[in-house]
Structure formats: C-alpha cells, structure tokens
Amino acid sequence: MEKNNKIYIAGHRGMVGGAILRKLKAEGYTDVITRSSAELDLRDQNAVNTFFETEKPEYVFLAAAKVGGIHANNTYRAEFLYDNLMIEANIIHSAYKTGVKKLMFLGSSCIYPKLAPQPLREDYLLTGPLEQTNEPYAIAKITGIKLCEAYRDQYGCNFISVMPTNLYGIGDNYHPENSHVLPALIRRFHEAKMKGDPSVTVWGSGSPKREFLYADDLANACVYLMLNYNEKELVNIGTGEDLTIKELAGIVKEVTGFEGELLFDASKPDGTPRKLMDVSKLSGLGWKYTTALKEGIEKAYQDFLSK
C-alpha cells in the first residue's frame, strides 16, 4: 500500500473508521476517499456497485457497521443482522468485481462462542453457541469473515479479517441506552459529578473481566496489518490484558473527578464472566499496543467533554 494509492474507508464517521482516517493522514497517504451514509447507502447494492466502478479504490478498510451495546443488539435484532449482512456483502462483492488489491474486514470479539476457553484464540471460531443477546450481530460478522475467506478461495482475492477487542476513544457513542460499558460509565460518572450525586451504582457485581483497546491503537494495528499480513486466517487485535468492571469503574471515577461513592447492584446481570483476546499471533507479527488504559480514558473523557 503506497502513499499515493487510492484507499477507501467504509464507515469513516464511526469511531474505528475515524481513527483509521486519522492514522492514514498522519502517515502521509494522499488519496483517501470517504462517503457519509447520506452520500452512499452501503445497504444499496446498486449504489455500492456504482461507487466502486466510478472511484475504483485500490485498498479498502471495511469498518462500516450498525453497532451498539447489549440493549441495542437485543432490541434491534433484525436490523443488526440485515444491515450488517448487506453492508459487508455489497462492499466485498464490489471490491472483487472492480479488482481491489486488498481489503480488510473488521469484525468483533462477539464472534467467539459464549463459553469459549479464555483467552480467545482465532481457531475458537464456530466451536460453540454464541451469546444470545448479540447473536444476530455476531452471525453477520462471522459471515463477513467467511465471505473474505470464500472470495480468497474462489477468486484469489487478498481479503483479510481482523477481530478487535472492546474499543473506546475519540468519536465513541455515549448514548444513555445504546452505548458500550466504558463510554456509558464515562457519561454516568460525569453526569453524577455535575449533579452532585452522592453515589453511582453500576450494574452487576463488578467481578466480570474485560479487555479494552484505544481506537487509535487499533487503527495503528490495522494499517500495520494492511502492510504486513496477507493470510486467510483472521487476526485478533487487542492488548492481551484485562481488568474487572470494578477496577474499570474506579479508573473512570478518578478520571472524571467524581468524588461520591461507587456502588454495585448485584441483582443485575453480569454477562460473560471474561472476554480476553489471545493476541499471540499479532505479537508474533511484530505489533503491540502503546496507549495505557488510564491515558486512553483521559483522552476519551476530553473528547466527551468537547461534544
């Protein structure tokens, strides 16, 4: 991937796509193209075909997706399956038809079975049932991986897949119902501080463990793999380290400056006890994250305050 190649980022207004866009611009790539959802409906096959035939991108980062937290995934099950299937199928097929040199598909750690051994290795895919609440989203993402593999097998396309762990950072979604755990905590602690609340109650026991990667570190890994990885097998992207929700809440409390009490409602569900990525393949390829969790949360909080 040369600095003057035409590169298309699908989903550049999302947190991941936006981070990839910043990374490419910082590295001096001069011909990066984007389209907002208002300009190009990626669920529309004809529109996507026309876009690829007209623009002829050489490299594609497929970061576009309909995303959300547990509540959104469980509530809009049909939309999460249909929209994501259409987006990835249209882009991958058009990339094949127009001779794209290389495409990267970004999945999600929810593709792995609910009760898979920890840490999650790439070869655990399709070895057991999925988490029920986000099964439609996971099935759509698994389909994207299998599309890339099938187009590689049948047509020789250099389409690769990467699986990020839980992400946070600049451009995150802080919606009170549809956001993920870390941005939701940032919002709740900030609002509690502003209102002078005596305490913040977090759902569950606080004992589940989760892994978090700063979105700009993910973008760094994506560009690194676009330059250095050309194999069929998917690659996990994460830190290989996790912490409890209680520990996470403590960091967010400190960063936001909330001085009240931190409480846990153990009557609420905890979800999966642990979700940690095995990143030994990525480490073997020569990449490691650089942004410490507290430093990343500080950056994310400043971004939240700027909204």
Q: What is the pLDDT of residues 71-114, one digit of tens each?
A: 777 888 999 999 999 999 999 999 999 999 999 999 998 899 98
Which residue, among 255, 243, 258, 173, has the nearest Cα to 207 in the 3D structure? 243
Q: Spell out the domain ranges in the chain.
A: 6-171+212-240+276-291
Tell me the C-alpha distance between 58 and 196, whole Å. Answer: 53
Token pair 């194999």 in the structure block, residue: 231
User: What pLDDT score was predicted for residue 179?
Assistant: 75
Which residues carry out catalysis?
Answer: 137
pLDDT lower than 70: segments of the chain: 177-178
Tell me: is residue 179 an annotated ligand-binding position. no
Rounded to a whole number of angstroms, the distance between the first and last alpha carbons of the chain is: 34
Tell me the C-alpha distance between 293 and 295, whole Å. Answer: 5
Which residue, among 264, 202, 267, 273, has the nearest Cα to 242 in the 3D structure? 273
CATH level 3 topology of 6-171+212-240+276-291:
Rossmann fold (3.40.50)
- The letter for the amino acid at 174 is Y
Assigned token pair, 64: 């576009």
Tell me: is residue 210 an annotated ligand-binding position. yes
Tell me: is residue 12 an annotated ligand-binding position. yes
Strand partners, 62: 10, 105
Tell me: is residue 166 an annotated ligand-binding position. yes
Token pair 């947190």 in the structure block, residue: 15
Tell me: is residue 167 an annotated ligand-binding position. yes
Which residue, among 229, 209, 224, has the nearest Cα to 165 in the 3D structure? 209
What global pTM score does this model have?
A: 0.94
Tell me: is residue 274 an annotated ligand-binding position. no
Tell me: is residue 180 an annotated ligand-binding position. yes
User: What pLDDT score was predicted for residue 268?
Assistant: 85
User: What pLDDT score was predicted for residue 36?
Assistant: 96
